[in-house]
Amino acid sequence: AQSVSQHNHHVILSEAASLELGCNYSYGGTVNLFWYVQYPGQHLQLLLKYFSGDPLVKGIKGFEAEFIKSKFSFNLRKPSVQWSDTAEYFCAVNPSGTYKYIFGTGTRLKVLA
Amino acid sequence: GAGVSQTPSNKVTEKGKYVELRCDPISGHTALYWYRQSLGQGPEFLIYFQGTGAADDSGLPNDRFFAVRPEGSVSTLKIQRTERGDSAVYLCASSEGTGDYGYTFGSGTRLTVV
């Protein structure tokens, strides 16, 4: 069955620290990949997406993600986090040509001021 | 509207009761999705509408769950004989097309069955 794994369930960082959140998926075909963010009390918002082309994708608020096909991974990175990045982050996989998104269980990030 | 609107934002109901959850998608979005997010989990697919028809309802957990989208815009998720295990946040999303376009999510309805 298709699945998405986010190995870090809770991450605590100090401001200005670098961030990397892992995302691995199990699906053999072509996929579209997404990172969504949910700030406290708010709805899920699209952070960035990968469809094709350059495997290094840049999103909003200084986030980026790299698609490594051989590792079935799409890790999220930010060089220097801010207190306002405190949120829950979800990786999602969409097998190309389909409409379903398969979400990971999320990673709760807390950034200490 | 500017975003996906879901009402109510919170619903507390007694076990065995019937509930309806409403989703008003972004104007012009033909695709509409319902997902359910249980505590500590990511959203899980329930049903997908393309226009007025339910193109895929394979994620509905059982026949107590039903959804409609009669005019191709607003959708209602209906749950009969609610159980405590139905407690979750029910998310609605819409998109211009499927998959590649990316979803826009609503804020969700938090359903609590007591």
Of A34, A95, A100, the CB nearest to B102: A34
Gap between the Cα atoms of A113 and B8, Å rounded: 35
Q: Average pLDDT for residues B67-79, to the nearest whole number?
A: 95
Q: Give the gap in angstroms from C-alpha B25 to the nearest C-alpha of chain A.
A: 14
Closest CA to B3 of B28, B21, B20: B28
Extract the tokens encoding A22. 């892992």
Mutate which: A24, A32, A44, vs B, most B CBs within 10 A: A44
Residues from chain A contacting residue B40 (CB–CB below 8 Å): 105-106
**Cβ contact B98–A105 (<8 Å):** no
Return the pLDDT at B98: 61
Q: What is the DSSP letter of B39?
A: T
Of A32, A42, A92, the CB nearest to B100: A32
Return the pLDDT at B101: 66
Q: Which 3 state secondary structure label does DSSP give B23?
A: strand
Torsion B83-A90-B49-B93 (CA) sign: positive
Gap between the Cα atoms of A36 and A101, Å rounded: 11
In chain B, the residue whose alpha carbon lies closest to the alpha carbon of A89 is B42
Interface of A with B in 85-104 (CB under 8 A): 90, 92, 94-104
Q: Average pLDDT for residues B52-78, to the nearest whole number?
A: 94
Taking residue B53's Cβ as centre, other Cβ atoms within 10 Å add up to 10
Return the pLDDT at B47: 96
Q: Is the pLDDT of residue B99 over 60?
A: no
Would you call B67 an interface residue with chain A, using a CB distance cutoff of 8 Å? no
DSSP bridge pairs for B19 = B79
Return the pLDDT at A95: 87
Q: Give the gap in angstroms from C-alpha B43 to the nearest C-alpha of chain A.
A: 6
Residues from chain B contacting residue A4 (CB–CB below 8 Å): 42
Return the pLDDT at B100: 59
**Cβ contact A43–B100 (<8 Å):** no
Question: By percentage, how much of chain A surpasses pLDDT 70?
Answer: 100
What is the band of A99 on the pLDDT scale with cuts at 50, 70, 90? confident
- Helices and strands: H and E segment counts in chain A: 0, 12
Return the pLDDT at B76: 98
Torsion A52-A68-A76-A34 (CA) sign: positive
CB-based contacts of B45, cutoff 8 Å, min separation 6: A100, A101, A102, B33, B35, B58, B59
Would you call A3 an interface residue with chain B, using a CB distance cutoff of 8 Å? no
Q: What is the pLDDT of residues A21-68, one digit of tens each?
A: 999 999 888 999 999 999 988 889 999 999 989 999 999 999 999 999
Return the pLDDT at B55: 87
Gap between the Cα atoms of B88 and B84, Å rounded: 9
Q: Is the pLDDT of residue A88 over 80?
A: yes
Would you call A72 an interface residue with chain B, using a CB distance cutoff of 8 Å? no
